[in-house]
Structure 1
Amino acid sequence: MALQFSGAAPGLPGIGEGAMAPDDLDLMLAALRQALTRPRGALAAPAEAEQIAEAAERAVGQSICEAGIGLSQALDVYAGLLSQQGVATDHPGYLAYIGAAPTPAAALMDGLLSASGMIGSGWLGGAGLIWAENQALRWLSDLAGLPAAASGCFVSGGTAGNFSALVAARQRYRDRVGMRPGLLLVADGAHSSIIVSARLLDLHVVVVASDETGRLTATALARTLAELEADGRLQQVVAVVAVAGSTNAGLIDDLAGVGQLARRHGIWFHVDAAYGGAFLCVPSVRATFAGIELADSLIIDPHKGLFVPYDCCALLYADPGPVTAAFTQDASYLEQINQSQQCNPMHYAFHLSRRARGVPLWFSLAVYGSGAYRHTLEQILDLSARLRTRIACHPRLTLIPACGLSVILFRREGWQARDYDDWAQRCLRDGIALVVPSSWQGETVMRLCIMNTRLDEQRCEALLADL
């Protein structure tokens, strides 16, 4: 059966007379085509808010007004001004934080998804979209080695994923021991969202000592568990959180050892693989993730290493059945959905209304194939390794060997914190790269993160020349 599209869309009173005029639609599609095909320009720091306001005022006057300014002028303001103010995360010189470089197919599907008119909260409102999301979740679950029954949903980002996973963990804890205050075990390298989530959930954070490289190990966890048992608090442990690819250094905790200890003590094991999880499909580093299959919950951010637009985080549960008790919202208008046996993503995280944000990942995988993903991530690791080698051979630089995956940390001989800041600002001012200093074991260092295969030798040369 061929796909059918209606010739007109209903308009709200005063907003259009049906479908968008053909010329206006062509204008929007041309702008989208240009955005997808135009090479990224030079890097530049964004202007101040006052400067942006003045430029918009000069272009169109008051942009939000009684009569509106029309599509052409509004599009000019967006394309010619607003979308140019900021550093695109898919720019070859974006080496700060963790970049995102969406595939054209994923970016286009993101727009088509918005035009679908469907909501991804429950099967009734978006069955086809949820089916597609579930295919992508299954692919990720299989990469991690989770059980065949594993499932979950897509949420807005790692913070939402970590928070929802810990809500589920606390629900299981309360079902077992009641309302006693709970403990959350984390290492120093845990993402800041874990600490915020603990605060929101009224969980007391117990920091487990990291090893000399900054990793959480089974040895340190066993020591902490023994101390808690001696204090009579072992039964208060809600969950232990491990990291599979820390944001700051790309480190992977001792997942196997920590996971086995958690299972032995009946403690929920959550793995934050928001950044690192994408590399599960790369054979050369897959062994470093051994033990991730023991996770009770796991997050992976496709908007980081799986080439889809912001915002997208996959939240996976090894046993999703009991999780719904933590999130099901009781309301008379929701009774039909709550009683259905279909897959309803609203029951797996703290959201209700939700965009089916996992569809662009499914679409991109379907278009390009998982082999293309594997090949691209292998290229990223190869780029990272070559740049590491260049830094290690540099006469004034010291590579910090503990960093991993596509994160690179290094120090510059004789520099203080201000020097790193000055260099970062100079790199941006000269249009070379967006880089940011970080810290390692209390010392200011420089951090680079490669998530884009368009980083070239010329840019690397320019980056290192001033050091």
Structure 2
Amino acid sequence: MSLILDDGERRLANELLGRFLDDHERGLAERPILPEVDRGALQALLDDGFPAEGVGVEGFFRDLDERILPNSTAVSHPRFLAYVLGPPNGIGAYAEAVAATLNQNCNFWQLSPAASVVERTVLTWLAGLFGFDTERCGGILTGGGSIATLNALTVALHDRRPDFRAAGLQAGGAPLIVYTSAEAHRCVDKAAAILGLGLDNVRRIPTDEHQRMRTDLLAEAIRADREAGRDPFCVVATSGTVTTGAVDPIAEIADLAEAEKLWLHVDGAYGALFVLAEQTAHLFGAVSRADSVALDPHKLLFAPLEAGCLIVRDAEKLRRAYAYSSSYLTVQEDPLMRDYMDYGPQLSRNFKALKVWAALRTFGTDAFRSALSGMLDLAAHLARRVDDEPSLRLMAPATLTAVCVEVPGLSPDGHAALLARLAAEGTALLGPAVVDGRDGIRACVANHRTTRADIDAVVERLVSLIAELTSVRV
């Protein structure tokens, strides 16, 4: 029994894969956004297990067509607007196939010399977008923004407590305090819990009328914690909150963090790569003052999942947190290469950088600037359409591409009913939103396939459904 496809099997696999990719691309707009889940088919997947004698190449693709694809959410559909999750760019699937074929282990450079340089190239470009000193900074591609933020807080801990590697939090000392916005992503809480800081030591700072962290209240919280004998050490600002797309006043927060000697991390997983768009580039000028920033190429660079990123202003601080010596992994240093096992928690790492590099090389950076600018224009168009409809009301400014909408007088159940109807009939998948305690619905334009016609269709159907719902006094 061989695990290698013979010539005929390889030709068949190539043909069937090409047909699958082509059919998927051509049929996206006609596919249901949310599948009508065939529970019997999925139960059979669970029950079937794995045969002693395989089903072969044709059997695999038959399973794909009959059981996997029909029960998969169409995240690339142009009216998939519920989450900050865009479709993969056109070269992504091919780059992933090449990465799987080469199977480089991106830990130390001897096992992945070209991959090491490709990752360094991607990181250098990303860091340069925000004005970081690319000779001094360092970084690593991660599974996503949540892992990047976890890694950033780990570096901050090592920087604050030089004995952290040896003694951890067991050495005692004043409780370490993390500050973030009340609108921050839950990954900050997760990181604090995982690292043993504890949720009781995370301060959620209230926001202003535009859902941005209030720097004056941040300063008060830091002062109160110092007076109580605690140790403020890190503040996490957000460049694009998940619900409304708000961008915290990073320059003001950076001034305060510098004065108070706090590590400043910027969670830019949703929004920071809008630095590429002319309309919003000015919002991110102060990111270069951060000690670290999390980005998500699998969002606004449309790389297939997973592709997150951490940039740290001082590469040596990143290395001090993660570099360990071991004789069996020793390799001669090369100034061209990076040993990424020394820049993050993983040893075995796949070639994530190839799909990002491939897209930037294939399409060019201007294509991404254009796509992001177009998405911002669509969000602005949606906000204008909402303003023009008497039955709809904007809940917050559309700073980036998240547009939160409420129906005045409609109950929370009524808003949920709207979402359910839009999804069930296949018009669009939108998400729930809570802004300043008020319930609404949220559309996030994170899809380079979305058009103005899609936006108009969603608004018009939404208005029609509201008329139906309000007529029965939901």
Q: Report the TM-score when normalising by structure 2.
A: 0.89
2:223 to 223, 226, 230: 226
Q: Secondary structure at the match of 1:88?
A: coil
1:418-462 Cα offsets, whole Å, 9 max, x none, are: 111111111111111111112111121111100123323443343
Question: Which residue does the alignment assign to 2:132?
Answer: 146
Greater Cα offset, 109-118 or 28-37: 28-37
Q: Secondary structure at the match of 2:162?
A: helix
The answer to whether residue 56 in structure 2 is matched with residue 70 in structure 1 is yes
Question: Which residue does the alignment assign to 1:50?
Answer: 39
* Counterparts of residues 323-338 of structure 1 (less than 5 Å): 323-336=318-331
Alpha-carbon contact 2:33-2:75 (below 8 Å) kept: no
- What's the offset of the Cα at 1:272? 0.2
In the alignment, the residues of structure 2 paired with residue 33 and residue 119 of structure 1 have an alpha-carbon distance, to the nearest angstrom, of: 30
AA aligned to 2:186 is S
Question: Which residue does the alignment assign to 1:239?
Answer: 234
- What's the offset of the Cα at 1:277? 1.5
Question: Which residue does the alignment assign to 2:117?
Answer: 131
In the alignment, the residues of structure 2 paired with residue 223 and residue 37 of structure 1 have an alpha-carbon distance, to the nearest angstrom, of: 56
Question: Which residue does the alignment assign to 2:313?
Answer: 318
Question: Which residue does the alignment assign to 1:422?
Answer: 417
In the alignment, the residues of structure 2 paired with residue 348 and residue 86 of structure 1 have an alpha-carbon distance, to the nearest angstrom, of: 35
In the alignment, the residues of structure 2 paired with residue 444 and residue 401 of structure 1 have an alpha-carbon distance, to the nearest angstrom, of: 12
Alpha-carbon contact 1:400-1:411 (below 8 Å) kept: yes
Alpha-carbon contact 2:87-2:448 (below 8 Å) kept: no
Alpha-carbon contact 2:33-2:428 (below 8 Å) kept: no
Sequence identity of aligned pairs in percent?
24
1:27-80 Cα offsets, whole Å, 9 max, x none, are: 3333334334543423243344732236769xxx93621111111121111133
Q: Secondary structure at the match of 1:39?
A: helix
Question: Which residue does the alignment assign to 2:290?
Answer: 295
- What's the offset of the Cα at 1:380? 0.5
In the alignment, the residues of structure 1 paired with residue 398 and residue 384 of structure 2 have an alpha-carbon distance, to the nearest angstrom, of: 13
Alpha-carbon contact 1:43-1:428 (below 8 Å) kept: no
* 5+ long unaligned stretches in structure 2: 467-474
Question: Which residue does the alignment assign to 1:198?
Answer: 192
Alpha-carbon contact 2:160-2:233 (below 8 Å) kept: yes
AA aligned to 1:344 is D
Alpha-carbon contact 2:107-2:339 (below 8 Å) kept: yes
* Counterparts of residues 355-374 of structure 1 (less than 5 Å): 355-374=350-369
1:220-261 Cα offsets, whole Å, 9 max, x none, are: 22222222232233xx22211000001111000010010121
Greater Cα offset, 133-142 or 202-211: 202-211
* Counterparts of residues 433-444 of structure 1 (less than 5 Å): 433-444=428-439
In structure 2, relative to structure 1, the CA distance for the partners of 1:176 and 1:292 (3 Å cut) is farther
In the alignment, the residues of structure 2 paired with residue 316 and residue 141 of structure 1 have an alpha-carbon distance, to the nearest angstrom, of: 7
Question: Which residue does the alignment assign to 2:12?
Answer: 23
Alpha-carbon contact 2:294-2:309 (below 8 Å) kept: yes
Question: Which residue does the alignment assign to 2:211?
Answer: 214
- What's the offset of the Cα at 1:281? 0.9
* Counterparts of residues 264-275 of structure 1 (less than 5 Å): 264-275=259-270
Question: Which residue does the alignment assign to 2:250?
Answer: 255
1:94-119 Cα offsets, whole Å, 9 max, x none, are: 01011212211122112211111211
Question: Which residue does the alignment assign to 1:9?
Answer: none
Alpha-carbon contact 2:378-2:455 (below 8 Å) kept: no
- What's the offset of the Cα at 1:417? 1.1
Alpha-carbon contact 1:118-1:126 (below 8 Å) kept: yes
Alpha-carbon contact 1:43-1:433 (below 8 Å) kept: no
AA aligned to 1:245 is G
In the alignment, the residues of structure 2 paired with residue 193 and residue 49 of structure 1 have an alpha-carbon distance, to the nearest angstrom, of: 33
1:321-377 Cα offsets, whole Å, 9 max, x none, are: 12222222454422447x776411222222221112122111111111111111111
Question: Which residue does the alignment assign to 2:403?
Answer: 408
The answer to whether residue 381 in structure 2 is matched with residue 379 in structure 1 is no
1:112 to 98, 105, 127: 98
Greater Cα offset, 22-31 or 211-220: 22-31
* 5+ long unaligned stretches in structure 1: 1-12
AA aligned to 2:159 is R
AA aligned to 1:374 is R
Q: Report the TM-score when normalising by structure 1.
A: 0.90
1:171 to 158, 164, 173: 158
Question: Which residue does the alignment assign to 1:81?
Answer: 67
